[in-house]
Structure 1
Amino acid sequence: MKRKVITNKIERLMKGEKARVLDLFAGCGGISLGFQKAGFEISAALEIDEHAAMTHARNFHPDSPQFESHAKARDITATKPEGLVKELGLGKSVSSCIDIIVGGPPCQSFARVGRAKLREIAEHPEAFLNDPRGNLYLSYLQYVKKFKPVALLMENVPDVLNYGGHNIAEEICETLEDMGYVCKYTLLNAVFYGVPEMRERMFLIAYAKELETQVSFPEPTNWIDLPRGYHGSRQVALKTIQPNLLEETAHSYMDPPEPHPDLKPAVTAKAAIGDLPPITLHLEGKLKRGARRFTELTPYPKNQRLNEFAKLMRGWPEFENSDGIFDHLIRYLPRDYAIFRRMDHGNQYPEAFQHALELFEERLAEARKEGKAIKKGSEAYDELKKATVPPYDPGKFPNKWRKMEPDQPARTLMAHLGKDSYSHIHYDSDQARTISVREAARLQSFPDGFIFSGTMNPAFRQIGNAVPPLMAYALASKIFQTINEAITNNQEDVDEFVRTAAAV
């Protein structure tokens, strides 16, 4: 029997009303931003980090009477759907107030609960509350059970396909099918969708069976020959998906649409951030240690010719920006500026460490020339080395640093940006620094008018955790198209039935 609440939602969408989105584990709003651009209404979000929750509210509900409620950080395991609906004033009925659920449960929550526990969610919605391991994707499924969305999107790291030998995505699909959804999942790389960053993620899309449609994923718009490491990580993730056993082990997996060289070239790091103002105050001794707050406007350089990506970042609908940016801030790393300057594009920590040793020897030689010879083992020797050479073993931390290539997209930005930014050293040697908050946001495809709450470190963490908005936009556009086509087909069937009945 069809679920009346689902058909009611479909009828509402048939009247031309916007689909209402609930973003779970929303972070600062990367998925929300993509869905908003595609024509969806961002009704609510749930996020445990206080800075990210405030960022989401400031960007998507700045004028709402319930702004404080939208900005409140919430733990999904302690927040019942009924309570969320009441606090945000979403409506009287949980099952009728949301059309789409999106989100990415944190990957560290994937314990090996297996199919039995997942299926228990479908039969006993409160069962997850008794699970001491706090598997957050069970909470996601509980919200699906309660809100009964017409469609949903789940995002996660590729390893979710092979977590301790478990294909968590496949097991989730089995549970969603029990709930009345058709679903598929795949691996997509954001760089193929206009994001200036090579970021591989798992995406799962599901539609209510009442829509009578099938899942498909967006076609790539850009092309690049990915570095070998990205191909390797995909193969590791796909180990639990054996082609000869596909029907038995991974019937919900779908090969991603393939990019090809005839598409537009991928957006490079220089194309993504090259129009932003250069930063050199740190080289003049005018940058000090301490929290960086977003209180000072940095104007855009004048009379620039902007490329397509830069125009989008300044002109994103509802986030237009023409004056400048408030978060063009960098870390205070005085020991390392000279090392950054010497590094070649693509250099990583072993090369950086070697440059540091060379600098150290040069400074010892300079001291000797000035008649201030510094003896090995002396306090002065140790102090100079500490001020010149990073302490990490290059054999143990080969990937700790990396200088970006201007003519390539950036490597994956991680939440670790909140602790340091050595993974993304600016390609411009004259600036000799790591990337700024706004440059990180650009590489993730956040528009310049998007406001981040908190200071520099929390902002970096929010950006590193986010789904790139342009990747989300590609997925949201495909979901929008699929739903509209399903509704159109549904309406045509109704019209044909009416015509046939009238003829009789």
Structure 2
Amino acid sequence: MSKPIQIVDLFAGPGGLGEGFNSLRDTKGRRVFKTLVSVEKEASAHRTLTLRAFYRLLQDSNFGMEPYFEYLRGGEHPSEVSELKQLWEEAVKEALRLELGGEAGHKELDKRLDRHLDIRSDWVLIGGPPCQAYSVVGRVRNRGNKDYVPEEDKRHFLYREYLDVIARYRPSVFIMENVKGILTSKVGKERIFRKILEDLEDPTAATNMKGKGVGENQKYTIFSLSEPCVYYTKQAGGRIIEELSDEELSGFVVKSEQHGIPQARHRVILVGVRNDIVDGQRISNLARSLCLEKEDGVSSGSALFGIPQLRSGLSRNDSDEAWYEAIKRLSAKVANELIATKSESITDEERREIAHKLMLISRNPKKGLKRGGRYDSAYVTIKPSTELEEWYAGEQKGIVRHWLNHETKGHMEEDLARYLYCSVFAEVVQRSPIGIKDIYLDSLAPMHANWKSGKFADRFKVVLDGAPSKTITSHISKDGHYYIHPDPYQCRSLTVREAARIQTFPDDYYFEGNRTEQYVQVGNAVPPLLAAKIADKVGSLLNRLGSIYEEKSKRA
């Protein structure tokens, strides 16, 4: 492979998909893929995207990585360092802040692609059009709005911006990611997912645009990463079957925890391969080659291993001593109430064990814990020994590790009491407590009129140490109740860095913006390690068939 395969990344967020693709290197250490352009409209995510583009350019330069870490320590921004200005300007050209869906965004993107995209060679389009209109939560919210008209919600049709790029420039392969709810989302009486498949399969018919490059006006076959028998359009005995069953459609769902990711994140991911590439291949072999290998589950505890321990904060009058005294008082109070109050959901033995552990915390809370910050560093004596630990280390090769975006939230004392109880409950019972059935003590009941109705069953959830985490979503930016740290001695919700670890971002991946914006970026991203595994499949496909493309390119 003489040069990296170009990538165009639309709706890029902080760059999870792009990070995975750019991380892939061949046996000689050369990049297999390289982003030509990434597009994101949200300001803080775009800043993160630009900084990471600079990080990769620095990796491939002779400067070393110190200028990057110097900036994170509070030093000069790369754009202000004279010898780095050219690299920074390249990063700015790569990461565009555009809103797709308008004429201005179209013109700017087309101008960049027309000038710099090599459409006579293989290139890959990646991205995930915004999913709020497709998610189950978003649809419930929309139904509560009497003025909501699905046909007028532009978010339903942002995939057409992605489709337009396919139609114009004909990538060799595209990767499109979205929430699982897209499978059942409807506009009027029509299932939007079936329409999306139909459009992606034949971009010319869907857009009336004449394509460019080697694959001019070619159709696409859309493959699953999970099920080798699922692809669109489906063929049997030489005959095309236009409709896939609902069960077959669900075969496009990728369950991250089955592929070495410490999170039960289920997303629809489509792999479109241009038909001039598919033609002449045995489609069953091609489908099989694109399926991700199944791997043993990775626990949240493995993902969080080695991160500096931090204490939570008090939302009022916080100090080390005030926090220490609050933990002593609250854990004793909950323990005493638990001893005196029977439960219908756990055994007396479990109840006494939870109370005992809370009493131990009351007698000896951890002292000396910090709250973390934007940037911190610590000596690390344990070298990475697993694929995941190597991945997290990133460019940090020495005994000093940099900890980025690792800062705790402040919480009300009432919430600290719930966090103490819930995390000890999970430790003893080996599951997260469920609503009022398990969080039954009067002192732990939230001030919600509907708390006892069962509508808030999932309000407080612990990230279990011995199992993959539940899905990290942008909701983590709200209050943290759904992402309680498994260690009761730390008594808090996850930091941005811990959420990023569960999402498999390397530890040197810095998220710009305020803490709320950072959480949103992490929650909306594709896990980079999963993206790297997808990139490996795509890279192998294109490399294996490379000589065929070169011949076609010469003839074109």
**Alignment TM-score, normalising by the size of structure 2:** 0.63
Aligned residue number for residue 84 of structure 1:
109
Residue of 6, 15, 21 corresponding to 1:35: 21
| Cα displacement string for residues 16-57 of structure 1 (whole angstroms, at most 9, x for unaligned residues) | 321111111111011001111222101111112111111111
Report the equivalent of 1:23.
9
Matching of residue 100 in structure 1 with residue 124 in structure 2 = yes
> In the alignment, residue 334 of structure 1 is paired with which amino acid?
M
Mapped to 1, the partners of 2:462 and 2:116 lie a distance apart of: 53
Which of 308, 320, 325 is the aligned partner of 1:277? 308
Partner SS for 1:475: helix
Aligned residues between the structures: 388
Deviation, 1:279, is: 0.6
Looking at structure 2, the residues matched to 352 and 331 of structure 1 have their Cα atoms a distance apart, in angstroms, of 27
- 2:222 is matched with 183
Change (3 A) 1:199 1:93: closer
Assess, with a 3 A threshold, how the Cα gap between structure 1 residues 474 and 20 changes in structure 2: closer, same or farther.
same
> Is the CA contact (8 Å cut-off) linking 1:401 and 1:422 kept in structure 2?
yes
Corresponding residue for residue 148 of structure 1: 170
Q: Is the 8 A contact 1:270 1:406 kept in 2?
A: yes
Q: Which residue of structure 2 aligns with residue 4 of structure 1?
A: none
Are 2:193 and 1:207 equivalent residues in the alignment?
Answer: no
Shift of residue 444 of structure 1?
Answer: 0.4
Higher strand share: 2
Q: Is the contact made by 2:19 and 2:531 (CA closer than 8 Å) also made in structure 1?
A: yes
- The answer to whether structure 1 residue 341 and structure 2 residue 420 are counterparts is yes
Q: How does 1:363-442 map to 2 (within 5 A)?
A: 389-391=446-448, 393-394=451-452, 395-442=454-501
SS at match of 1:328: strand
Q: Note if contact 2:373-2:407 (Cα within 8 Å) is conserved in structure 1.
A: no
1:73 lines up with 2:91 in the alignment:
no
| Alignment-mate amino acid for residue 481 of structure 1 | S
Distance 1:355 1:301 in 2: 43
Matched, 1:469 2:528: yes
Shift of 1:280: 2.0
Amino acid at match of 2:40: E
Any conservation in 1 of the 2:312–2:408 contact (CA below 8 Å)?
no
Aligned pair in 2 of structure 1 residues 320, 40: CA closer, same or farther (>3 Å)? farther
Partner of 1:53: 46
Contact 2:485 2:492 in 1 (8 A): yes
Q: Decide which moves more: 274-283 or 395-404.
A: 274-283
Over 3 Å counting, the alpha-carbon distance change for 1:133 and 1:320 in structure 2 is: farther
Structure 2 counterparts to residues 236-247 of structure 1, below 5 A: none
Q: Which of 410, 415, 419 matches 1:332? A: 410
Q: Cα offset for 1:434?
A: 0.5
How much has 1:297 moved relative to structure 2? 3.1
Question: 1:128-167 deviations in whole A, cap 9, x for unaligned?
Answer: xxx9542101111011112221110001112212213644
* In structure 1, C-alpha distance between the alignment counterparts of 2:54 and 2:181, rounded to whole Å: 34
> Within 1, Cα distance between the matches of 2:259 and 2:446?
39
One-letter amino acid of the structure 1 residue matched with residue 3 of structure 2: E
- Report SS of the residue matched to 2:223: strand
Cα deviation code 1:48-97 (max 9, x no counterpart): 211111111110235242444555532101244442254x5872678569
CA distance in 2, matches of 1:105, 1:89: 19
What is the SS of the residue equivalent to 2:270? strand
1:266/1:353 Cα in 2 relative to 1: closer, same or farther (>3 Å)? closer
Partner AA of 1:100 in structure 2:
V
Q: Distance in 2 between matches of 1:98 and 1:58?
A: 27
The CA deviation string for residues 414-465 of structure 1, in whole angstroms up to 9 with x for no partner, is 1111222211101111111101110000000000011101121111100100
* Residue deviations 1:83-139 (CA, integer Å, cap 9, x gap): 2254x587267856982111111123459xxxxxxxxxxxxxxxxxxx954210111
Report the AA paired with residue 18 of structure 2: S
- CA RMSD after TM alignment: 3.4
Residues 304 and 157 (structure 1), Cα distance of their counterparts in 2 relative to 1, 3 Å cut: same
For residues 453-495 of structure 1, give each alpha carbon's deviation from its aligned partner in whole angstroms, at most 9, with x where no partner exists. Answer: 112111110010011111111111111111112224567999x
The verdict on how the C-alpha distance between 1:429 and 1:485 changes in structure 2, with shifts beyond 3 A counting, is same
Q: Which amino acid is the alignment partner of residue 130 of structure 2? A: P
Whether 1:350 aligns to 2:384 is no
Q: Equivalent residue for 1:173?
A: 197
C-alpha distance in 1, partners of 2:300/2:387? 11
- Paired letter, 1:331: K
In 2: Cα distance, 1:352 partner to 1:413 partner: 24
Deviations 1:309-355 (CA, angstroms, capped at 9, x unpaired): 55224433x57684221211121113212221122113345259836
> Could you say if the C-alpha distance between residues 389 and 207 of structure 1 is closer, same or farther in structure 2, counting changes exceeding 3 Å?
closer
Aligned runs of 1:109-258 on 2, under 5 Å?
A: 109=133, 133-134=153-154, 135-164=157-186, 166-179=190-203, 180-185=219-224, 186-212=252-278, 213=281, 214=283, 216=287, 217-222=290-295
Aligned partners of 2:263 and 2:319: how far apart in 1?
32
Shift of 1:398: 0.8
**Contact 2:483–2:493 (Cα < 8 Å) also in 1:** yes
TM-fit CA distance, 1:219: 2.8
Within a 5 Å distance, the mapping from 1:1-20 to structure 2 comes to 16-20=2-6
C-alpha distance in 1 between matches for 2:373 and 2:489: 26
Q: Is the 8 A contact 1:30 1:467 kept in 2?
A: yes
- Name the CA distance, whole Å, in 1 between partners of 2:510 and 2:7: 20
Greater mean alpha carbon deviation, residues 27-36 or residues 61-70 = 61-70
Structure 1 gaps of 5+ residues are: 1-14, 112-130, 223-264, 360-387, 495-504
CA contact (8 A) 2:134 2:181 kept: no
Contact conserved, 2:183 with 2:193, CA < 8 A, in 1?
yes
Instruction: Report the CA distance shift for 1:486/1:82 in structure 2 as closer, same or farther (over 3 A).
Output: farther
Shift of 1:298: 2.9
8 A Cα contact 2:20 2:528, kept in partner:
yes
- What secondary structure, in the 3-state scheme, does the structure 1 residue paired with 2:161 have? helix
Q: Letter of the aligned partner of 2:439 in structure 1?
A: Q
Q: Which residue of 2 aligns with 1:123?
A: none
User: Aligned partners of 1:460 and 1:68: how far apart in 2?
Assistant: 23
Contact in 2 for aligned 1:299/1:324 (Cα 8 Å): yes
Matched residue type, 1:330: T
